Amino acid sequence: KAGVTQTPRYLIKTRGQQVTLSCSPISGHRSVSWYQQTPGQGLQFLFEYFSETQRNKGNFPGRFSGRQFSNSRSEMNVSTLELGDSALYLCASSSDRGQGYTFGSGTRLTVV
């Protein structure tokens, strides 16, 4: 059974640019959540999607957005990148039956 796949693994972008990250959940999982991980802030919740609908949203500015497709794959977009957006972005999928998350390996974004 394939795990959660995130692409790309690494990204270097310039301040002001935009970026799109992709997450393919475990087959059969319909819930996909996104987290930002930084050394000083731990795992910060961005948003959660289920059946193409955003169900929950964390406290991030509107520059951070996402979507989910009918096959449950999800994308996250960050516009007008800032230096502070440099982080590891983790995606996690769940069967939405009260089970724990399975995380992907993450996308490490560096903004220069």
Partner 1 sequence: GENVEQHPSTLSVQEGDSAVIKCTYSDSASNYFPWYKQELGKRPQLIIDIRSNVGEKKDQRIAVTLNKTAKHFSLHITETQPEDSAVYFCAASRAGNNNDMRFGAGTRLTVKP
Q: Is 28 in the site for partner 1 (CB under 8 A)?
A: no
Pick the closer one to partner 1 by CB: 31 or 72: 31
Give me the DSSP letters along 25-85.
PPTT--EEEEEEEETTTEEEEEEEEETTEEEEE-S--TTEEEEE-TTS-EEEEE-S--GGG
DSSP state of 101: P
Pick the closer one to partner 1 by CB: 66 or 81: 66
Exactly one of 55, 61, 71, 82 binds partner 1 (CB under 8 A); that residue is 55
Number of residues that bind partner 1 (CB under 8 A): 25
Widest CA span in the chain: 40
Pick the closer one to partner 1 by CB: 44 or 79: 44
**Which neighbouring-strand residues pair with 56?**
48
- Contacts with partner 1 by CB under 8 A lie at 31, 33, 35, 41-43, 45, 48, 50, 55-56, 58, 90, 94, 96-106
